[in-house]
Amino acid sequence: MGIFPPPQRVWWNLPVGKTEVLWITIAFVWALVMFFMMPYWHLTGDQNLSNEAYKIKPEVYAAKTEAWAEKYKVREEGDTGIPVVKPPAGGDVYMFGRLWEWWPIVELEKGQSYRFHLSSLDWQHGFSLLPENINISVHPEYEMVFTVTPNSSGEFGIICNEFCGIGHHNMVGKIYVTDK
C-alpha cells in the first residue's frame, strides 16, 4: 500500500467491506439519536436558557442600566466605587459589559426569579456565571434577556469568556445572592 495510488483507478465502485458498513451504520444511527436528542434536551433540560434578543443602541442601553443602578443602589464597593444594586424580588436586572468590566455588581435574593438584561457597550463579550453553568454571548447593539432563579446563596463570579483585548483576563464581575 503506502503512498501509491490504488491499482484500480475507479475505487469507489468496489464493494464495501462488512466492517466498514458496520461502522458507517453505527455512526449514522448515533447521529440520528443525537439529532433527535437535541430538541428533547432543549425542552426538558434545566441547562438551557430560553433567552430573548432585542436590537438596542449601546448608548440607550447604557443610560437605561445607569438609571436602574441609581434607583436600586444599596452601597458601593471597591476603590472605584462600583455600585452594588439590589433590585426588588422578581424584578429586572440590568448589566453591561465593556472593556474590561461587568457593571454593576448585583445583589439578589435566593428563591426569587429575576429577568436578566445583558448587553455590551463596545465589543463582543461572554457572560459566564461561575460556578453555575450560565454562558451567554453578549453583543453590542443587542439586549439579551433571560430568567434566573438563584437556588443557593453566596458570592458568584462573572467572567468574560470571549477574548476582548489586552485586559480580557481582568474582566470580572460579581453577583451576591442572599437568603433574604
pLDDT score at 48? 61
**3-class SS at 6?**
coil
Indicate the burial class of 59 (C-beta count within 10 angstroms; 0-12, 13-18, 19 or more).
exposed
- Residues 6 or more apart from 176 whose CB is under 8 A from it? 84, 105, 106, 107, 108, 154, 155, 156
Mean predicted lDDT score pLDDT of the chain: 91
Q: Contact at 8 Å (CB) between 126 and 162?
A: yes
89/93 Cα distance (integer angstroms): 10
Q: Contact at 8 Å (CB) between 99 and 108?
A: no
Residues 107, 24 within the same domain: no
How many domains does the chain fold into?
Answer: 2
Pairing mode of beta strands 114-120, 92-98: parallel
Q: What tens digit of pLDDT does each residue of 5-35 get?
A: 777 778 778 888 899 999 999 999 999 999 9
54/84 Cα distance (integer angstroms): 26
Within a domain: 142: yes
Cross-strand bridge partners of residue 154: 177
Residues 16, 76 within the same domain: no
Residues 76, 116 within the same domain: yes
Pairing mode of beta strands 105-109, 82-85: parallel
Residues 84, 122 within the same domain: yes
pLDDT score at 41? 82
pLDDT score at 12? 77
Give the CATH number for residue 69: 2.60.40.420
Residues 99, 120 within the same domain: yes
Residue 96's Cα: distance from chain center in Å? 13
Tell me which of 102 and 43 has the higher pLDDT. 102
Within a domain: 33: yes
pLDDT > 70? residue 1: no
157 confidence band (pLDDT: 50, 70, 90): very high
Residues 58, 136 within the same domain: yes
pLDDT score at 19? 93
Q: Contact at 8 Å (CB) between 167 and 100?
A: yes
Pairing mode of beta strands 172-178, 154-159: antiparallel
Q: What tens digit of pLDDT does each residue of 46-61 get?
A: 666 667 899 999 999 9
Within a domain: 6: no
Domain carrying residue 101: 52-178
